[in-house]
């Protein structure tokens, strides 16, 4: 294995008390940091700013600064996080940054709030249960087979760039699972628009986090981008992106309306969803489909790229995964029944999500005055959860800088449930979590049946906090056909 040092995500070495949520009789002073410094860091690198925030919060697990007209609080203890995301989630809503995201994605489970979110979440929950997703395993596997056929054509040893490859592959998997075999190609056609939308969303979300404009201004911007006939750059690119996505999804919905079927793809499930108040509107189907495609492929793609990199640095974990896959699958195509028998493979992906969580910050807005462990949270404040700081806190993760998938084996799953946040937490935990874990396990297993992946020596890999946490310069790897790699070479 090529030796590579992983730059740790910094945490304060100070030992901090374990907080308890209480109703205090007097307000406690909240540790503060420089809003100007945070703004600079946020614009440049995002993640570094939250490392500094976490250090500033040492001893209290909470820190406050002012961003524009907003007060912003960062919380780093799972009990505080549970307070905001579960116990008192009625006092918080999605932050103003999601208004920008909804400009492209529309009003979906990811961006919605309140009664409409609750209604649609209840309608869609059954369709994302494992028993339902098992029925679309072939839709998930066929794109992986196509990708592997392309690798097979490249020979016995060649270089791949994992971020680009995993982005392409997960977009194909999600698109086929969403639209079915016949229309899965629509996802590929949308690829450029999706990528452009993500990059524009990243810039806009970070600027919003720093400038802290009022919600009405963000809504007005979204309305302008949607309906204005002529816009200056870069708003014209955002408008073109939205209209491209809208047109393609509308074509799919029109085709499905003219050729209805009872297929197992997710679009069919969305169209069949109903409750006592009726079915989803055509616009809501569009918004949920676009959200699933865009949000669903980006986070899984980055998580997979990080997993391949971390496995290359930890040969013992990779070898154990290969042994498990060989024992369970051999050379055959996997089935839904095989997934529970690949716990180590799944654990490798889950540990990669802990080490480099693609979702690196969870923002909320307080809609009522609140109090966390004696600290006053005024109405209108923004509360941020710096996910990677929580994932690398030694109080909740033993030796957190070590890549150790044993943390996520079924017999060891005893971590604080609000200390692990790659899919969010609480009632708004990502509805696609089970799909993502199934997809990642299938991709890891099928790719490992044929190839061994090693890091390219000398290529720097470091995290960059864009809309998701992704490798700044990609992840360059050498793929070697396993039939050409001896066991001693594999385990070096």
So what's the pLDDT on residue 33? 54
So what's the pLDDT on residue 16? 40
Asked whether residue 5 carries a pLDDT value surpassing 50, the answer given is no
Q: Which residue shows structure tokens 């496995």? A: 311
pLDDT digits (tens, 9 = 90+) for 466-487: 777 888 889 999 999 998 776 5
pLDDT digits (tens, 9 = 90+) for 355-390: 999 988 898 999 999 999 889 999 999 898 989 889
CA distances from 203 to 240, 340, 467 (A): 17, 39, 8
For residue 451, the cross-strand partners are 481
pLDDT digits (tens, 9 = 90+) for 68-93: 677 889 898 999 999 999 999 999 99
Asked whether residue 27 carries a pLDDT value surpassing 70, the answer given is no
Alpha carbon distance 57, 368 (integer Å) = 24
So what's the pLDDT on residue 199? 62
Asked whether residue 48 carries a pLDDT value surpassing 90, the answer given is no
Q: What confidence tier does 413 reach under pLDDT thresholds 50, 70, 90?
A: confident
Alpha carbon distance 21, 368 (integer Å) = 17
Domains and CATH numbers, the chain: 35-490 (1.10.630.10)
Mean pLDDT for 389-398 is: 92
pLDDT digits (tens, 9 = 90+) for 88-144: 999 999 877 676 667 667 788 888 888 999 999 999 999 999 999 999 999 999 999
In 10 A of CB 128, how many CB atoms? Answer: 18
pLDDT digits (tens, 9 = 90+) for 312-334: 999 999 999 999 999 999 999 99
Which of 140-149, 443-452, 465-474 has the least mean pLDDT?
465-474
Give the number of residues written for the chain.
Answer: 492
pLDDT digits (tens, 9 = 90+) for 52-68: 555 655 567 888 877 66
| pLDDT greater at residue 10 or residue 231 | 231
Residue 98: partners with Cβ closer than 8 Å, 6 or more residues away? 110, 111, 363
So what's the pLDDT on residue 88? 95
Mean pLDDT for 214-235 is: 69
Residue 18, judged by CB atoms within 10 A of its CB (0-12, 13-18, 19+), counts as: exposed
So what's the pLDDT on residue 467? 72
Asked whether residue 300 carries a pLDDT value surpassing 80, the answer given is yes
Residue 141: partners with Cβ closer than 8 Å, 6 or more residues away? 333, 334, 442, 446
| pLDDT greater at residue 458 or residue 204 | 458
Asked whether residue 489 carries a pLDDT value surpassing 60, the answer given is no
The pair phi, psi for residue 454, each rounded to 5°, is -120, 145
Residue 489, judged by CB atoms within 10 A of its CB (0-12, 13-18, 19+), counts as: exposed
Percent of the chain with pLDDT over 70: 74
Which of 99-108, 194-203, 286-295 has the least mean pLDDT?
194-203
So what's the pLDDT on residue 484? 76
Query: Which is nearest to 60 in space by CA: 88, 92, 2, 20?
Result: 20
Mean pLDDT for 281-295 is: 85
Alpha carbon distance 429, 487 (integer Å) = 41
Asked whether residue 2 carries a pLDDT value surpassing 50, the answer given is no
């Amino acid at each position: 294995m090529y030796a590579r040092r992983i730059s740790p995500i910094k945490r304060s070495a100070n030992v901090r008390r374990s907080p308890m949520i209480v109703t205090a009789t007097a307000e406690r002073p909240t540790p503060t940091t420089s809003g100007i410094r945070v703004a600079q860091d946020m614009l440049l690198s995002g993640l570094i700013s939250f490392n500094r925030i976490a250090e500033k919060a040492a001893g209290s697990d909470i820190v406050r600064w002012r961003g524009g007209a907003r007060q912003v609080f960062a919380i780093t203890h799972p009990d505080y996080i549970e307070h905001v995301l579960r116990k008192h989630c009625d006092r918080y809503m999605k932050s103003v940054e999601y208004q920008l995201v909804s400009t492209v994605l529309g009003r979906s489970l990811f961006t919605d709030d309140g009664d409409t979110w609750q209604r649609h979440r209840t309608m869609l929950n059954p369709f994302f249960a494992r028993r339902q997703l098992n029925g679309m395993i072939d839709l998930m596997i066929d794109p992986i087979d196509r990708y592997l056929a392309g690798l097979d054509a490249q020979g016995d040893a060649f270089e791949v760039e994992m971020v680009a490859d995993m982005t392409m592959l997960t977009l194909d998997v999600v698109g086929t699972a969403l639209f079915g075999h016949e229309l899965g190609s629509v996802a590929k056609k949308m690829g450029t628009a999706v990528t452009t939308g993500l990059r524009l969303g990243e810039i806009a979300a970070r600027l919003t986090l720093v400038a802290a404009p009022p919600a009405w201004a963000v809504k007005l911007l979204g309305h302008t981008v949607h309906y204005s006939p002529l816009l200056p750059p870069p708003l014209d690119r955002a408008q073109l992106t939205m209209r491209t996505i809208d047109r393609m999804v509308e074509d799919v919905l029109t085709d499905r309306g003219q050729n209805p079927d009872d297929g197992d793809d997710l679009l069919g499930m969305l169209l069949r969803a109903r409750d006592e108040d009726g079915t989803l509107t055509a616009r809501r189907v569009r918004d949920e489909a676009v959200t699933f495609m865009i949000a669903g492929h980006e986070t899984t793609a980055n998580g997979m790229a990080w997993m391949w990199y971390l496995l290359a640095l930890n040969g013992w974990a990779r070898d154990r995964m290969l042994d498990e896959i060989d024992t369970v699958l051999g050379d055959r195509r996997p089935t839904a029944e095989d997934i529970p028998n690949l716990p180590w493979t799944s654990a490798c992906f889950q540990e990669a999500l802990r080490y480099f969580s693609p979702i690196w910050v969870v923002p909320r807005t307080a809609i009522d005055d609140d109090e966390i462990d004696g600290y006053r949270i005024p109405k209108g404040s923004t509360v941020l959860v710096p996910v990677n700081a929580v994932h690398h806190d030694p109080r909740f993760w033993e030796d957190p800088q070590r890549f150790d998938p044993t943390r996520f084996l079924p017999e060891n799953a005893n971590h604080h449930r609000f200390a692990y946040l790659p899919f969010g937490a609480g009632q708004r935990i990502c509805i696609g979590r089970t799909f993502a874990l199934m997809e990642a396990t299938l991709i890891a297993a099928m790719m490992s049946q044929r190839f061994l992946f090693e890091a390219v020596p000398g290529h720097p890999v470091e995290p960059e906090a864009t809309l998701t946490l992704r490798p700044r310069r990609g992840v360059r790897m050498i793929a070697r056909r396993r039939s050409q790699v001896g066991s001693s070479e594999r385990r070096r």
